[in-house]
C-alpha cells in the first residue's frame, strides 16, 4: 500500500476511534486500524532491523521482522486503549515511541550477553573504565535519542530509525522537506554533543533512504 493510501486509511480509523470512548467499542476499530497499517509498520520494522540493526538478526538473538512487528503491534493495541491520536503524525509518533521502547527491551536482554551490540551505526562516547560491556553504551545512545527535543526526536525517529525519506517524513508531519532537514541536522548536533563525538562522525548514520 502506498504511503498516501495508508495515511488516508489511518486518519479515517483515528477519526472513528475518537468517537468511541469505551474500550469494548473501540477494540474492533483498533484491530482494523493496526491491520490496515500493518504493512507500513512491518516495512518500518524491516528497515530498522536490516539497515540499522543487522546484528540483532544474527546470533544470539536472531530477531526477525515479524517478531519485532508482533511485539510493536501488541504494544500499540494496549496503548490505543487509552491514547487517542488525532492525526497520522501522532499515530506514527506513538508507533515510533513503542519501537524505541521495544528496542530498549532487546538492549536490556543483550546487557546480559558478551555479544557486541550497537544500537545505531554511529560511534558512541567512550565508556568510563567502570562501564565495561555494551549495556552502558547502548543505554547512553538510547538516552541521548530520548533526550532530544520533541520535534528533533520525531524527525530523527522517522528518518533514521524508521527509514522514511525526507519527503515521506514531511508529508506525515505536515511540514516542508527543508524543515525536516533542518530538524534532522539539529538532532545530529545534539546527539553528537550528548555522545561526545562530532556531527561528521554521525554522518554515515543519517543518509536519506
Query: What is the DSSP annotation of 136-190?
Result: HHHHHHHHHHHTS-HHHHHHHIIIIIS---HHHHHHHHTS-HHHHHHHHHHHHHH
pLDDT of residue 185: 92
10-residue mean pLDDT series, the chain (209 residues):
74 91 84 92 83 74 90 94 89 86 75 49 39 53 83 87 81 88 92 77 44
pLDDT of residue 113: 60
pLDDT of residue 146: 83
Q: Which candidate, 159, 201, 199, places its Cα nearest to that of 177?
A: 159
pTM for this model (two decimals): 0.65
CB 138, CB 107: distance < 8 Å: yes
pLDDT of residue 79: 93
Nearest 5°: the CA angle 149, 165, 169 is: 45
pLDDT of residue 208: 36
**Could you identify the residue written with the cell 546470533?**
59
- Spatial distance between the Cα atoms of 7 and 168, rounded to a whole number of angstroms: 11
pLDDT of residue 111: 60
Question: Alpha carbon 95 to chain centroid distance?
Answer: 7
User: CA-based diameter of the chain, in Å?
Assistant: 55
pLDDT of residue 161: 74
Q: Which three cell numbers stand for residue 61?
A: 538473538
CB 208, CB 166: distance < 8 Å: yes
Amino acid at each position: 500500500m502506498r504511503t498516501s493510501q495508508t495515511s488516508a486509511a489511518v486518519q479515517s480509523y483515528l477519526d472513528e476511534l475518537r468517537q468511541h470512548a469505551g474500550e469494548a467499542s473501540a477494540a474492533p476499530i483498533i484491530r482494523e486500524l493496526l491491520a490496515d497499517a500493518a504493512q507500513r509498520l512491518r516495512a518500518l520494522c524491516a528497515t530498522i532491523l536490516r539497515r540499522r540493526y543487522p546484528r540483532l538478526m544474527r546470533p544470539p538473538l536472531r530477531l526477525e521482522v515479524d517478531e519485532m512487528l508482533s511485539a510493536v503491534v501488541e504494544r500499540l493495541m494496549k496503548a490505543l486503549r487509552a491514547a487517542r491520536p488525532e492525526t497520522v503524525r501522532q499515530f506514527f509518533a506513538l508507533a515510533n515511541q513503542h519501537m524505541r521502547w521495544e528496542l530498549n527491551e532487546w538492549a536490556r536482554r543483550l546487557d546480559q550477553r558478551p555479544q557486541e551490540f550497537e544500537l545505531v551505526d554511529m560511534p558512541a562516547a567512550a565508556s568510563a573504565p567502570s562501564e565495561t560491556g555494551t549495556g552502558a553504551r547502548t543505554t547512553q545512545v538510547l538516552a541521548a535519542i530520548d533526550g532530544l527535543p520533541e520535534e528533533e526526536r520525531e524527525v530523527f525517529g522517522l528518518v533514521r530509525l524508521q527509514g522514511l525519506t525526507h519527503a515521506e517524513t514531511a508529508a506525515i508531519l505536515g511540514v516542508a522537506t527543508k524543515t525536516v532537514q533542518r530538524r534532522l541536522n539539529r538532532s545530529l548536533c545534539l546527539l553528537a554533543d550528548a555522545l561526545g563525538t562530532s556531527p561528521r562522525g554521525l554522518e554515515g548514520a543519517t543518509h536519506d533512504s
